[in-house]
A and B are shown apart, each in its own frame.
Chain A
Amino acid sequence: MLSRVAENIYWMGRYLERAENTARLVSVTGTLLLDQPGTNRSHGWNRLVTITGCNAAFAQTGEQPGEAGVTRFLLVAADNSSSLVSSVAYARENLRAMRDTFPGEFWEGINDFSLFLREQSGAGVEAAHRHEFLHAVIGRCQTLVGILMGTLSRGVAFDFFSMGQHMERADMCTRILDVDVAAGQPLSGLDSLWLHLLRSVSGEPMYRRHVNPRVNAVDVVAFLLRDRRFPRAFNFCLHEVERCLETLDHNALGIQLIKRVERSVDTRDVSGLIADGPGAFMDELQQALQRLHEILSATYF
């Protein structure tokens, strides 16, 4: 496979995943803030910009901090290259350059998604319609991935898509853990914070069934970092990247790095992590992902 095509597919996976994660993040923040009476809600929204690593870009757009400015920036801003609308537009552009590699329904689906965003994205900024809009966005992302699951042959194209998707997902996992734990002021009780965290990744039923019917900080953080069965947990994502790499040549460096990171996640003392604030460790994981991306890029693209 051409390097350019592989890179296009990898990024398409990342963009689609980023679109879904952005929708999840905005959705969960909105609900969480409603449950924290008395706190400065604007502050809660502004932290989202920090989580996504977009402080500088946000300052440049001239948007006002606060709910309206932040949701506009994260969902519809064309000048934010990581916004929901931009992510879908990039995914579509990438696909356009390699339509022949993918099933027709996938192209139709992504086209339809773009049209939907063109008509409806305004609703994401209005608090009253936001939930419905974000729900539809998440559903469309899942449908698109579902089409690939059901129609794309398992091979190099599928693996590069999956690597992009899971790299992005692992990255987002470290970002939500970082912020939410740090922001967890026990005003309304921590439990509600952990619950929201689980819900943001649709992980509540899996956690209750497989880990603990009761929600508590240590178990939730350990679940989101280490679980090997839950598809949005950090180590699950890394493991999927590893699985894809195993089918490719020249994979030694990447696999070595993944194994090292998985081990450090597995052996980390979670209660200590929560007590000290997870910021430093999450930074470390993000840097490891960045290194892994650089290895993929240098080897295959």
Chain B
Amino acid sequence: MSKLGNLGARLHRGEISYDFVGKRKIWYGVSILITITAIVGLAVRGLNMGIDFQGGAVFTTSKTSVSVAQAETYAKEASGHEAVVQKLGTGGLRIQIAGMDTAKSDATKAKLATDMKVDPESINSDLVGPSWGDEIANKAWEGLGIFMVLVVIYLAIAFEWRMALAALVALIHDITITTGIYALVGFEVTPGTVIGLLTILGYSLYDTVVVFDSLKEQTKDITKQTRFTYSDIANHSINGTLVRSINTTVVALLPVAGLLFIGGGFLGAGTLNDISLSLFVGLAAGAYSSIFIATPLVADLKEAEPQMKALKKRVLAKRAQAAAEEETAEARGDGAEGPEDAAPAVVGPRNQPASRNRGGRGRPSGKRR
């Protein structure tokens, strides 16, 4: 703890901080790059929709000694698609494979029969429709639309419209990246994937709201001071909640990482891969976008506000004045006294809240204005 605890303490005091808002252009760039890659991936490779969405073929065998796992391998070899294999009460197997038409299904049937060493006549094949029909999909879109509208209204009331907009951008960012990676990796999209995406949607917003809540609290009385611009405070707010963000992300990602890397990688739980991948990418993107995208975006939008522009002017003017004064003070003293030397080093990171107390005590700011 001590190291991270110290980090927390120093972040709290502002002794160390990362300039998230100041370096936002870099991160916007990174995000735009990833998003474009994702969109290109989606456009070029498309999503590999599973049997639940596009239907496919179902093969029913008569009583057989071939195991489910073996049949899965055979079916994958025969068709090139992931197959769902279930053992039936009759002792036979039901093998479902996505993306099949009649011709393809006949070929697959013949291959399956040779692989499983059974008579092709004993395998019954049929085309099946999607179990995740248009209605489920349409209603899901409808629900998403209504939710987006409501959540923007809610955030606009609870916070303000700029934060609502930024949260929405972050959300779309996360979803695009996750779907894009899906297209690039080429995993089959199952209902589990969709549920995973919806989980991401909830989590991404949740995480953004936690960060915004701290931002709102810290910027409550912003116009009553002239020491910090909105961006400064936004940056301090992110740094202040950084430990929380790291901890939450680690705790949320560890179990999913367990599923993805240990379960999928070493133990061969192949079908878990699809859902855990979407969760892993989405959770990581959600945590990233709250800090690197959403908050700087709010700062950008806020700085465009006349009130905040005026504030920034005052702050900059004050800083320039202070710097000028310091220079003259230094020029006057010209290194004559030892303690004066230390002063610049302490005052140096002026935009950091750590210097707040010292600065406040040293120069009664009220008079200068």
Decide whether A and B assemble into one complex: no
Chain A interface residues (CB < 8 Å from chain B): none
